[in-house]
């Protein structure tokens, strides 16, 4: 399904542009992953005419942020719907696997959900968190593994959102996080982004973003750049 033409998303160097994509499926673990992590990329794709949708495996009910907001499972489902609309996505599918326990779910089952959503939405590519989950969260890692399993079955490109090693290093030093970054040689594409839509989407996740200094510091360090890797490259 992938068109070999290109769309005008600026790259780090000549020739480093995304293939022209009619549709993208973002696969993530928790409500807010689509905004905090993938939001600027999804917004850039939407601006370029790409239709996107989101598959999320959990309701994020185990979060230790925003516990004063009532039923966190219900709250976060509503936040996801609002954020997806702010990003201009075509729709979301929210599953109900236990937050924090995706690693215990058979990969074949999770990958099957991705495959079925691929059949429904017909994407040219999957958009995921980088291997290692950016923060090391096992759920992030499992969501990416499920996407890769489905992509191998359906012969799809997989594009991963990554952060540079200097951003990860700064966050780890300042907040004792366990972020994994990539050196320049492991980054396939650096795009310039407008974060306006992403910031609107982040605001929809009030239960998770209000007291989240790591998020705000990461965005400050990233500036107007996002970095991507191909985990499964498009056809030659």
Q: Domain residue spans in the chain?
A: 20-231
Maximum distance among all Cα pairs of the chain, rounded to whole angstroms: 51
Q: What is the mean pLDDT of residues 4-25?
A: 57
pLDDT tier, 3 (very low <50, low <70, confident <90, very high otherwise): very low
Tell me the two tokens of residue 222. 């990233």
List the Cα angle 35/40/46 in 5-degree steps: 105
Mean residue pLDDT of the chain comes to 90
Q: Taking a C-beta distance cutoff of 8 angstroms, is the pair 144, 231 a contact?
A: yes
Q: What is the DSSP string of 174-195?
A: HH------B-GGG--EEEE---
Tell me which DSSP letter residue 18 carries: P
pLDDT of 115 > 80? The answer is: yes
> Domain 20-231 carries which CATH code?
3.40.50.10320
Beta bridge pairs of residue 119? none
Half-sphere exposure of 19 (CA within 13 A, CB side): 23
Q: Could you tell me whether strands 3-6 and 19-20 are parallel, antiparallel, or unpaired per DSSP bridges?
A: antiparallel
pTM of the model: 0.91
204, containing H or E segment: helix 196-204
| pLDDT tens per residue across span 16-35 | 566 689 999 999 999 999 99
Phi and psi at 96, nearest 5°, equal: -130, 40
Distance from C-alpha of 96 to C-alpha of 217, rounded to nearest angstrom: 30
So what's the pLDDT on residue 20? 82
Distance from C-alpha of 230 to C-alpha of 153, rounded to nearest angstrom: 17
| Between residues 15 and 79, the one the model is more confident about | 79
| pLDDT tens per residue across span 38-64 | 999 999 999 999 999 999 999 999 887
| pLDDT tens per residue across span 162-218 | 999 999 999 999 999 999 999 999 999 999 999 999 999 999 999 998 889 999 999
């Amino acid at each position: 399904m992938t068109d070999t033409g290109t769309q005008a998303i600026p790259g780090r160097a000549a020739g480093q542009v995304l293939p022209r994509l009619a549709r993208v499926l973002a696969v993530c673990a928790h409500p807010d992953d689509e905004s905090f992590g993938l939001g600027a990329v999804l917004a850039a794709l939407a601006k370029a005419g790409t239709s996107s949708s989101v598959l999320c495996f959990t309701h994020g009910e185990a979060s230790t942020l925003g516990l004063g907001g009532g039923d966190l499972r219900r709250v976060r489902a509503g936040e996801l719907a609002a954020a997806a609309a702010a990003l201009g996505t075509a729709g979301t599918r929210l599953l109900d696997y236990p937050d924090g326990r995706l690693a215990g779910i058979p990969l074949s089952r999770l990958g099957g959900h991705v495959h079925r959503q691929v059949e429904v939405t017909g994407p040219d590519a999957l958009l995921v968190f980088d291997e290692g989950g950016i923060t090391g969260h096992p759920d992030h890692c499992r969501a990416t593994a499920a996407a890769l399993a489905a992509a191998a079955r359906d012969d799809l490109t997989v594009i991963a959102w990554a952060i540079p090693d200097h951003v990860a290093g700064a966050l780890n030093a300042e907040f004792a996080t366990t972020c994994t970054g990539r050196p320049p040689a492991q980054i396939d594409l650096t795009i310039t982004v407008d974060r306006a839509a992403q910031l609107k989407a982040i605001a929809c996740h009030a239960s998770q973003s209000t007291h989240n200094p790591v998020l705000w510091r990461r965005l400050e360090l990233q500036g107007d750049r996002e970095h991507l890797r191909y985990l499964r490259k498009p056809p030659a």
